[in-house]
């Protein structure tokens, strides 16, 4: 009989992609105004082999003064996880909460380091409650599924 105990192993955490652009340097660096900062975050999960998943947390940090970009950072931090014998109803939470919580601190460090090495004060990404984000996504998906669909004639 095969072992049916739940398995959750981190196989690897790695920097998948990173880019930094300063399209308006050096002129923009002479500006005295404080830039605005826009941060977008995403999580993606891919089944790459039997019971093996890649979870990628992506962030984009875009700073601007008026309509000119000061810098734009895009970074993807990923982890490979072995996940077996987890009941299907719990798999979403494992992929949407547990895995991103493991990957995200590495992403935060890489982004802060990259921005600082580019000559700017580091942008420290806030802590994220992935459980709250996951629950909000689940509630939104449930509400969307329950909403009546308009039929056009």
Instruction: Evaluate if residue 149 carries a pLDDT over 70.
Output: no
Interval 23-53: pLDDT, tens: 999 998 898 899 999 999 999 999 999 999 9
Instruction: Evaluate if residue 139 carries a pLDDT over 90.
Output: no
Instruction: Evaluate if residue 3 carries a pLDDT over 80.
Output: no
Summarize the confidence of residues 42-65 as an average pLDDT: 96
Task: Report the predicted TM-score, pTM, of the whole model to 2 decimal places.
Answer: 0.85
Instruction: Evaluate if residue 103 carries a pLDDT over 60.
Output: yes
Q: Is 21 helix (H, G, I), strand (E, B) or coil?
A: strand
Cβ(122)–Cβ(113) under 8 Å?
yes
Residues 6 or more apart in contact with residue 62 via CB below 8 angstroms: 37, 38, 39, 40, 69, 72, 73
Full set of structural domains in the chain with CATH: 7-125 (3.10.420.10)
């Amino acid at each position: 009989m095969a072992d049916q105990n739940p398995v959750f192993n981190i196989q690897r955490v790695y920097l998948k992609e990173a880019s930094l652009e300063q399209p308006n340097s050096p002129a923009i660096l002479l500006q005295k105004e404080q830039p605005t900062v826009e941060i977008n975050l995403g999580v993606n999960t891919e089944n790459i082999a039997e019971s093996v998943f890649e979870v990628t947390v992506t962030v984009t940090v875009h700073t601007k003064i008026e309509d000119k970009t000061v810098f734009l950072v895009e970074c993807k931090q990923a982890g490979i996880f072995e996940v077996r014998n987890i009941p299907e109803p719990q798999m979403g939470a494992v992929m949407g909460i547990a895995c991103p919580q493991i990957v995200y601190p590495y992403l935060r460090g890489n982004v802060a380091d990259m921005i600082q090495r580019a000559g700017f004060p580091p942008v420290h990404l806030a802590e994220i409650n992935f459980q709250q984000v996951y629950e909000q996504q689940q509630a939104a998906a449930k509400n969307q599924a329950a909403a009546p669909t308009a039929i056009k004639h």
